[in-house]
Amino acid sequence: MRNFSSAKNRVDFPKQMMVNPITLSFTKECAHLEKTFTRVYQEKSVALLRYAIIIALVTWSSIGFLDRYIDYNSYLKLWAIRYGIGVPIFIAGFLLSYTDFFKKNMQAIVSLCVFLAGIAVIAMIYLAHSPLRDTYYVGLILVFIFAYTLLRLKFFWASLVCWLIVAAYETTAFVIGTPSKILLINSFFFINANITGMFACYFFELSHRKNFFLTMQLEAEKEKVKAANEELESNVKERTRQLLKINEDLNIMINDFRAARDRLKKSEEKYRSIITSMEEGYYEMDLQCNFTFCNDSTLKIFGHDSHKELIGKNLRSYMSKENAEHVLKAFNNVYQNNIPEKAMNWEIKTARGEICFLEVSASRINDATGQPQGFRGIIRDITERKRMERKLLEYYENIKQTQTMTILGLAKLAEYRDKNTGEHLERMMEYTRILTTALAQHPKYRSYITDDYIEDICLSSILHDIGKVGIADDILLKPGPLTPDEYEKVKKHPLFGGDALQAIEEKVKGKSFLSLGKEICYYHHERWDGTGYPKGLKGEEIPLAARIVALVDVYDAITSDRVYKKALSHDETVRIIANERGKHFDPDIVDVFLANEKKFKQILESYRKNRKTGSGSAPGKDMAAV
């Protein structure tokens, strides 16, 4: 029952009801029930009380027709009390019963209404002058009946208010001089009516309290039974859970293999889908190095057109004996130690008879028990990079006596197709020197840009496009716009050049210009706002040397003729570069450029003047700004 929540929470409920014999309030161990009983009793009584008020109102109003016969001369005064005071009290009590305030204070409010009704009857006795006025005592008897029975008053409140009415009547009767016989008779009836009503009300309330106590006691016992059932249910659930856990473990053991097999199948399908579409080669071999699987890129690298031509072939058939021994030794280390090889260098002879250099990773394929079943890895064709490395090393060895000549040789390797290579490289060096020397005065760079740094960056600046050696002639020398695919291939030239210089740098120690050249090659096409390539670096993530050469390269490209456009003027170029401040270029470098743009203009005009007089060559098709 929702009304007994406060009692249900008690652990020990009294076995016997204990009440005050006079007030009937719960006492001792049952004292905590009093508040709950009062609330429940009043909540249940409100509906019945409203019916009682309606009956009382009808009774009270109907008796008004007798007022004219009891005292014709004073009946209007009597009606004023009956209908002007009594009826509004009943109506107010009825309406008030719908409020929370009434529900909380019902006993006091109803007692007050009963008392006022009794006083109203006494007032009519006082105002009437007819000898029959003493018959109004019957009205008080009706008030007692309603108070003790129909209005749901507790014993204490009903007794209190009814005896107060008797006292008020006795006082009024004495004041108006009621004959002693009539007073004695009326008092006799009032006293007996009150005593009878008290007995009735006493046992009514006692009966309600017993029913409430037994209900609460039953609820408490239900709670104990419920707790016992819950504990039993909990024990059963725990045992059931243990059995289910055992059963689940058995099912897991049974289904593990199936689940693993299904996961492996799905994973393999996804894995195969990914590796089939990879740009780099992917291979799988058995323990004898026979190919068991490969993607299309691997077929292309080994010079085959279909998987049937490569699957089942042994790796050694594509290598010299010396190379095969070296590679098989590396595979043996992977087999023995189960440690992947990240970058093996292979030299193979393809099915078309071409020599190819590969960078290959290898890891061991194990079965479910950890036993080796074969090898897998990634293949990257580095033939072009190897060729560049060899050519660069050859140039470096041939001209290592002069650092400047070394740099020029490397740069010419990149732009050997350009008839105007010398002019372009010389301008790049001069522009770079002007810009770097001026930037060295900036407080932010003063401690970083030394004289040696200026010399190194001037020499290294002409290496910015050496990676174009790896770009095919039909793309590099194309007179019209590039296709998206061609453009993506051209965008790889920074990586080609940077990788080549890194390989040389590892073999040639102490050359700071190679470090700068590597940075320039890799990053001179990055943009300050992060939209450049190949890494998408942003802001000061881009090395300073690359940021400087980026502006110089663009300036020279815009002011030079192209097969698809004419050179722009110096002033137009300055405006373009200024607009790219904070977008394409470092704001600090643009500011220094703008402060020294007249020096750039002097160099540009000098070269253009020499070209007109015949001392310079015609412009070629350089790709500086690609």
**What is the rounded CA–CA span in Å between residue 438 and residue 178?**
128
Q: Write the secondary structure of 215-252 as one string of H (helix), E (strand) and C (coil).
A: HHHHHHHHHHHHHHHHHHHHHHHHHHHHHHHHHHHHHH
370: left (phi over 0), alpha (psi -120 to 50) or beta: left
The model's pLDDT over 366-382, given as tens digits with 9 standing for 90+, comes to: 988 889 999 999 998 88
**What single-letter amino acid sits at 408?**
L
Residues 79 and 183 in one domain: yes
User: To 10 degrees, what angle do helices 587-595 and 570-579 make?
Assistant: 150
Q: Which residue in this structure is represented by tokens 């059931």?
A: 240
- What pLDDT digit, counting tens, does each position of 209-253 carry? 777 778 777 877 788 888 888 888 888 888 878 878 787 777 787
Tell me if 358 is assigned to some domain: yes
What is the per-residue pLDDT for 467? 83
Is 85's pLDDT higher than 70? yes
- Using the 3D structure, point to which of 355, 381, 407 is the last residue of a domain: 381
The answer to whether residues 392 and 352 belong to one domain is no
Give the tens place of pLDDT for each residue, 610-622. 877 655 443 333 3
Residues 360 and 486 in one domain: no
Q: Residue 299 CA to chain centroid, in angstroms?
A: 45
Position 602, amino acid: Q
Domain harbouring 446, CATH code: 1.10.3210.10
Q: What is the pLDDT of residue 5?
A: 43
Q: Clarify whether residues 410 and 545 are in a common domain.
A: yes
Owning domain of residue 32: 19-218
Q: What is the CATH number of the domain that holds 350?
A: 3.30.450.20
The residue out of 218, 241, 258 marking a domain boundary is 218
CA distance 19 to 24: 5
399 and 367 in one domain? Answer: no
What CA–CA distance (Å, rounded) separates 213 from 13?
10
Examine residue 623 and state whether it is found in any structural domain, yes or no: no
Predicted confidence (pLDDT) per residue in 254-264, tens digit: 777 677 777 76
Assess if residue 258 is contained within a domain: no
Q: pLDDT of 142-174, one tens digit each? A: 888 777 877 778 788 888 888 988 888 888 878
Stretch (H or E) spanning 314: none
Distance CA(7)–CA(3), nearest Å, equals 9
Looking at the structure, do residues 450 and 584 belong to the same domain, yes or no?
yes
For residues 393 and 331, membership in a common domain is answered with: no
Question: Is residue 570 located within the same domain as residue 608?
Answer: yes
The one-letter code for the residue type at 181 is K
Region 100-112 average pLDDT: 81
Asked whether residue 259 is assigned to any structural domain, the reply reads no
The reply to whether 270 falls in a domain is: no
- For residue 249, what pLDDT is reported? 76
Residue 395 is predicted with a pLDDT of: 61
pLDDT for 137 equals: 66
Mean pLDDT of the chain: 80
> What is the chain's alpha carbon radius of gyration, rounded to the nearest angstrom?
55
**CA-to-CA distance for 519 and 543, rounded, in angstroms?**
7
Token digits of residue 437: 């020397």
- If asked whether residues 488 and 419 sit together in one domain, one would say yes
Average pLDDT over residues 9-29: 70
Q: What is the tally of structural domains in the chain? A: 3
**Does 327 reside within a domain?**
yes
Amino acid at site 304? H
| CA nearest to 113, candidates 81, 139, 88, 77 | 88
Using DSSP, state whether 364 is helix, strand or coil: strand
The answer, as to whether pTM is greater than 0.75, is no
Higher pLDDT, 139 or 445: 445
Please give the pLDDT value at position 558. 94
Position 131 pLDDT exceeds 70: no
pLDDT tens-place string over residues 58-82: 877 777 667 666 665 666 777 777 7
Last residue of a domain, one of 316, 346, 381: 381
Residue 6 within a domain? no
Q: Is 335 exposed, middle or buried (0-12, 13-18, 19+ CB in 10 A)?
A: middle
Question: Do both 420 and 565 map to the same domain?
Answer: yes
Please give the pLDDT value at position 152.
Answer: 77
The reply to whether 350 and 449 lie within a common domain is no
Apex CA 118: angle with CA 113 and CA 122, to 5°? 145
Residue 562 included in any domain: yes
How much of the chain exceeds pLDDT 90, in percent? 23
Q: Are residues 371 and 464 in the same domain?
A: no
